[in-house]
Amino acid sequence: MALKGLDIFKLTPKTNCKDCGNPTCMAFAMKVAQGALSVDKCPHMSADALAKLSEATEPPMKTIDIGGHALGGETVMLRHEKTLVNRNIFSGYLCTKMPDAEIEQVLEDLPKTDYERIGERMYVEAVFVNCLDDAERCITLTKKAAATGRAVIISCEDPEKAKAVAGAVKISALVGANAENWEALNSVATAAGVPLGVRGPDLSAIHDTIEKLEAAGNKNLFIDLGAASVKDAFKNAMLIRRAAIKGGDRSFGYPTIVNLVWLARGDFETQAALAALFTMRYGSIIVMQRMSYAEALPLYGLRQNIYTDPQKPMKVAPGIYPLNGADENSPCCVTVDFALTYFVVSSEIERSGVPVNLLITDAGGYSVLTSWAAGKFSAGSIASFFSDFDIESKIKSRTLILPGKVAVLKGEVESKLPAWKVLVAPNEAVQLVRYLRELK
């Protein structure tokens, strides 16, 4: 568990510090406790004290890297307590027992889910390969998974087979360590330089195996939540996170993996629902049988909402967004860059079927009324946007539609943009469909 300021003070040297100016170094200690400074910034810290403080002030969950994706490192149970820092990743599923035609279909479908949402790329970040056949078959399938360019996670409890696969293909993680094989698989994972996943029949067995691995010097680990049942996997996820965050049990302070294929094989709708559940509580790697656009859109939206700093609103980039095939002759709607506003307004415009150029201005990520009250969405800011993006040379239409809730801006906008016919939309986005159709 992280030390408090007074605990850190007990380990800091009692000498004048040129950085904090406090002869007892209390200011430095408090800043370290708050996370504002790292302990190695103190020039008077002894090596022994530095080692103790570095370990004590680490997050209760270790941060590991799988294929360039940081997982773990969390310090709280819930998002509203403090920002969650490292979002989970989604993984496709392959197994050596699958028919070749099914394998090829999975590999063909995998790249289809790849799009951008509010400045973030949404795609399937990993491929999970269940190695159940001979080493040659496992190597062949793992090579196909690696060819996708995604992180490759192999599941293998046979140390010799795992060694052969890791020696032939660059993998990102190995899962399969248990009470019997942990020592041999630890050697394979360490040699490959990848995180090692630990599994067992219950949390007690998993905890014992982790303690042995830690004693052997490996803390680059993650935990398999198990496949006995959805209930057990969810219970394990909750208990592991609570033990690490609330109980200070660092042996449970590791990211987790949950395989929904094993929990709901063939039931894609249930897998999608469980993916949402474990995105919230607390799957770091979520393995699914498929990830079509229908499953991806709500899941990635949910993940983005959860793993976004609640103090920093989500924003879309300012610019011109042509909808329904809009061109330079189509009317313009202007609104703010708050992501929720953009998605609500754009979806209603699309539903209307009327070609419209949606103009997104920089309003600090606030909603229409909030940004208007703060002076970030005004006639002046709209005019500046038109100038910065050279709207008048790009769009021949001279019809501009304001959000209904800031109808008060109509006169000011007309004076700033005299060549434009300024209209006021309804107060609610849902009324845009009828409004635009009648306008057309």
Tell me how far CA of residue 408 lies from CA of 268, 337, 362, in angstroms. 49, 20, 19
How far apart, in whole angstroms, are the C-alpha atoms of residue 65 and residue 173?
9
Alpha helix (H) residue ranges in 200-267: 203-215, 230-245, 260-263
> In this structure, which amino acid lies at residue 325?
G
Stated length of the chain? 440
> What CATH class does 319-439 carry?
alpha beta
Q: What are the b/e assignments for 329-349, b being 16+ CB within 10 Å?
A: ebbbbbbbbbbebbbbbbebb
Please state the separation of Cα 99 from the chain's center in Å.
32
111-114 long-range contacts, Cβ below 8 Å, gap at least 24? Answer: 111/148, 112/292, 112/293, 113/291, 113/292, 113/293, 113/296
Task: Calculate the alpha carbon distances from 154 to 68, 93, 128, 189, 404 in Å.
Answer: 16, 10, 6, 11, 54
Q: Which pLDDT value is given to residue 16?
A: 47
The predicted pLDDT at position 36 comes to: 59
Domains of the chain by residue range = 5-56, 63-306, 319-439
- Tokens matching residue 236: 């394990």
Q: What is the rounded average pLDDT for all residues in the chain?
A: 90
Predicted pLDDT at 14: 46
Give the position of tokens 């330079």. Answer: 328
Residues (pLDDT < 50) of the chain are 1-6, 8-9, 11-16, 18-19, 21-24
Q: Could you tell me the pTM of the whole model?
A: 0.79
- The predicted structure's pLDDT at residue 153: 98
Q: Class for domain 63-306, per CATH?
A: alpha beta
CB atoms within 10 A of CB 281: 12
| The pLDDT value given to residue 39 | 66
pLDDT in tens, 76-135: 998 888 888 899 999 999 999 999 999 999 999 999 999 888 878 899 999 999 999 999
